[in-house]
Every structure is written in structure tokens, then in C-alpha cells.
A and B are shown apart, each in its own frame.
Chain A
Amino acid sequence: MKNNNIEEKFNTIKKLIEEEKNEALRIFRMRNFNSRLHNLITREFENKSFSIFKLMKSFSSAVLLLFLFTAIILAVFIIPSFFKSKSEGNQMEKFFEQALFSQESRSEKPSILKNDVLEIKSEENIKENMSDSHKDLYISLIELFSNLGTFSERDYSKEKNSINDGYKKDFLPNLIFQVLKIVKEG
């Protein structure tokens, strides 16, 4: 009895629902649903292709990231170790260079001394660097030698005059040679 009562009352509501549906369907049928849906699906496919493009883009980004990662790995681990070995090689090289240099310097030292002696002994040097005081000393030395009887009176006066008048070109080296010879023999 109660159920029947509800069904009866609901019939009015049902009519209202039917009216709403019919009117809405009338509008829906006018709006060409299929073509709109087709457009929507096409657009979705375009979005899909765009998303594939995006995927490709992200893939290239991933490759780039991988490349960067490899570069970082190389920079952090491999390149420093390479440099390390190279620097070790450089150290060895330096060591050998130093060793060689020291050897060379040792072998060169006498030659340097020798050159110095030669420089001192050279005629030009003596001539150029001889001052008046040296000349005086030199004369004194000749006097001394003459006193010793090495030089004759004539030689002495001759040498003395030549020094006082002007410097005789080959005199001095000859003299030194003479002196050294005497010292050696004496």
C-alpha cells in the first residue's frame, strides 16, 4: 500500500525527469556530437604526437645528462690520475735533468777556472789593465832581476826606457814568460 503510494507520487517526479531528458536530448541532437568528438580525438592525437616529441626531447636531454655525467666522471677521476702519472714523469725528468746538470757543472767547473786563468794571462788584459802603479811595480821587478844578474845593464836600461816612453807591444808577455821561466828554473 505504502509502495503504491510512493510510486504514484513518484510518477509526477518521473514526468519531470522525462521532460528534462527530452529537452536536453533535443539540444544534444542539434549539436552534432559525433563531429565534435572526432575533432576532440584528432586534437588528442596531435597532443600525443607532441608528447612523443616531448619524449624525444627528454630523451635527448637524458643523453646530454649522460654525456655530462661521463664528462664529470672523466674530470674527477680519470684526468687527474693521468696528470698525476704525467707529473710523476716530469719529476723523474727533473731529477735526471738535475743529475745531468750537476754532472755538467762538475765537469764545467775546471773549464771555467781555466778560462779565468787564460783571461788573466792574456796579453791584452795585462796591457789594458796595467796602471802606473803596476808599471812602477814592474820596473821594480826588472830592477830586482837585474840585480840578480839575470838581466844585463843594457837590457835593463832598454826595458826601462821602453816602459817609460811608451808601452812596447810584445814586451810584457815576453817578460812574464821570462820571469816564469826563471822561477821555474830557479
Chain B
Amino acid sequence: MDTGKNRKSDAMKLFNELLEYKESVFRICLGFSKDPWDAEELTQEVYLKVYKKIGTLKDPRFAKPWLFKIAKNLCLDHRKKNNFSNIFKSELNNEPIERNTPESIFFYKEDLKTLKKIVRSLPKKLKEVFILREYGNLPYQEIALILGIKMGTVMSRLHRAREFIVEKMREVNHEK
């Protein structure tokens, strides 16, 4: 009985610890999703899943990579369900504070729209590395742990992803 209570309190403690990474989770979700609201919903789903599954976590030392892995998988699943048809349906309302002129806001929106489109068009392996690194701000080692790949693979995939994005952005700008 006491063991059960202790286990539950340990799980709750661990959950609260994982809740500290909510902004990292949110950023990762933002990389995969169309807007901050969508990203927030995904973050909630991630923590709900973590809350339900926390009892299955064998080693609390791997709780953080486990959390990000859940976030990554959930976002990928979410993307499968909600395809790109309505990705840019809702325009970003979060206008940057420093962009005050209507022109700057317009160009920011356009660039962001293009970037997000390109990020989404990345191959899955490149995309997950790119988002975990650029949106999640996670170190290479952690990304390697989350994805179950070598650190060198993470670095090479990240480079290929950046190359892909730069190329695509140049193509779009050149077309414009």
C-alpha cells in the first residue's frame, strides 16, 4: 500500500520535473505545427500522454529524452492526421513587436510561411533532427539519444537539412 503511494508520489514528482521543459516541448511542437495555438495544443497532448505513461518509465534518468521523443512522435502523428491542406489557413496573428510597419510585417509573414513550408517538405529523418536542434535547442548528444542514432549522424543530417532549406529558400526568392 505504502509502496504504491510512494510510487505515485515519485511519478508525480517526476512529472512536475518534466513540466519544467514545457517551453522546449512547445518549441519542438512549434517546429512541427502551423502556428503557436496548434503548438500549444500539441504540448498539452504531449504532457497528457506523459502523465498517463509515466508509470511505464523504467529509468527516471532518461525522462527528458523520453519526453522529447513523445513530443516528436506525437507531432509526426499529428502531421499525418492533419495534412498540409489547411496549414496556412489561419494566418499568424503573433506579429513581432519589433516589426511595426505593415511592410515589414508582410515580409516577415511571407518569409515565415515559406520557411515553414520548406521545413515541412523536408524528408522525415532530416526534419526531426532539424526541428529538435533549431526549434528545441537540444544538444547533439540529446538528439542522438532521442532518435537512437549516432551524434555524427545527427550532425550530418542537420547539415543536409540546412542545405536543403537554404537551397529551397533561394529558389523561392529567385522565383519572386
Residues on B with C-beta less than 8 A from A101 are: none
Within 8 A of A (CB), among B14-43: 19, 22-23, 26-27, 30, 35-36, 39-40, 43
Using known A-B contacts A3-B159, A14-B134, determine if residue A19 contacts B23 with beta carbons closer than 8 Å: no
Main secondary structure of the interface of B (DSSP, over half): helix
Residues on A with C-beta less than 8 A from B165 are: 10, 13
Residue in A10, A24, A25 whose Cβ sees the most chain B Cβ within 10 Å: A24
Q: Please state if B94 and A23 are interface contacts (CB–CB under 8 Å).
A: yes
Q: How many angstroms between the C-alpha atoms of A44 and B153 in the bound complex?
A: 39
Residues on B with C-beta less than 8 A from A31 are: 40
Q: Please state if A20 and B112 are interface contacts (CB–CB under 8 Å).
A: yes
B interface residue count range (under 10 / 10 to 19 / 20 to 34 / 35 or more)? 20 to 34
Residue in A29, A41, A44 whose Cβ sees the most chain B Cβ within 10 Å: A41
Q: Please state if A40 and B48 are interface contacts (CB–CB under 8 Å).
A: yes
Chain B residue at smallest Cβ distance from A36: B44
Within 8 A of A (CB), among B95-114: 95-97, 108, 111-112
A interface residue count range (under 10 / 10 to 19 / 20 to 34 / 35 or more)? 20 to 34
The 10 A-B pairs with the shortest beta carbon distances in the complex, nearest first, are: A24-B36, A23-B94, A9-B166, A10-B162, A27-B36, A24-B30, A28-B26, A6-B163, A6-B166, A37-B47
Q: Give me 9 other A-B pairs in contact (C-beta within 8 A), A13-B169, A26-B94, A27-B94 excluded.
A: A6-B162, A7-B162, A17-B115, A23-B36, A24-B26, A25-B26, A28-B23, A33-B44, A41-B48
26 A-B pairs in the complex with CB atoms less than 8 angstroms apart = A6-B159, A6-B162, A6-B163, A10-B162, A13-B162, A14-B134, A17-B134, A17-B135, A19-B112, A20-B30, A20-B112, A20-B115, A21-B135, A23-B36, A24-B30, A25-B26, A28-B23, A28-B40, A29-B23, A31-B40, A33-B22, A33-B26, A37-B44, A37-B47, A41-B48, A44-B52
